[in-house]
Structure 1
């Protein structure tokens, strides 16, 4: 058994396989997931696990170069935006429309679905490098 880090074998494998600029999505319970993008469905009940819990765990194991968020988060979910700003203070941030965000999910290596049910609690994380 692992001593530290993410215990979910699917997420651990995806993070280990990422190369520079690869994308992963951490999504709320309602984000449409493209049929050809692998899904890791963690949703258990409404709100469980939370977007923040999953982002926190992933951010500890992943070098994140850029974070992409829907611009609508600025008005519809300031609490989550503040959390993202604090969590990824060293990463570049990019805002796109929610429609453009959904199109970008087609390029992801995986979508990790949470049980989150607050508006626009979705992010695309672009992998960086440790050197």
Structure 2
């Protein structure tokens, strides 16, 4: 039996399928996921798992070099906004876009993970990167507890 990392087999397999430049969205429980998006819903009840827990688990498994968030995240969800701004400072792409643009961007994602997060604007679009550990080391992110 697997003893560490992501235990959800469907999610682990989907993450393994991501290649350079592929998009991944981690969203809150109320985000209007566009029809046709491959979605893994890991919400159990409101608040479980949180957006931060899922983001942390995914970052232990994957490398990313860019992100998009909604432009009102700082106002609607200052805790997670500060977390994103402090954690992803070296990413090549750091964009804040409107909700309409974010929904359109989500249509490009190869995978959407729906969490049980009840806080508004808890959504991030991450762009995966590839390469040897030395060329992408600067993109490594550790989310504080």
TM-score (norm 2): 0.85
**Aligned structure 1 segments of 4 or more residues deviating by more than 3 angstroms:** none
How far did residue 74 of structure 1 move? 1.7
Task: Give the structure with higher Rg (CA).
Answer: 2
Q: Structure 1: 5+ residue runs without aligned partners?
A: none
Q: In the aligned structure 2, how far is the partner of 1:12 from the partner of 1:91?
A: 23
| 2:112 aligned residue | 111
| Counterpart contact for 1:65–1:91, Cα < 8 Å | yes
- 2:42 maps to what in 1? 42
How many pairs are equivalent?
A: 131
CA deviation digits over 1:24-80, x for unaligned, max 9? Answer: 110000111122111111111111110000000001111011011001102111100
Residue 44 of structure 1 aligns to a residue in which SS? coil
Q: Pairwise mapping of residues 72-111 of structure 1 onto structure 2 (< 5 A)?
A: 72-92=72-92, 93-111=94-112
| Aligned 8 A contact 1:56 1:87 in 2 | no
Partner of 2:54: 54
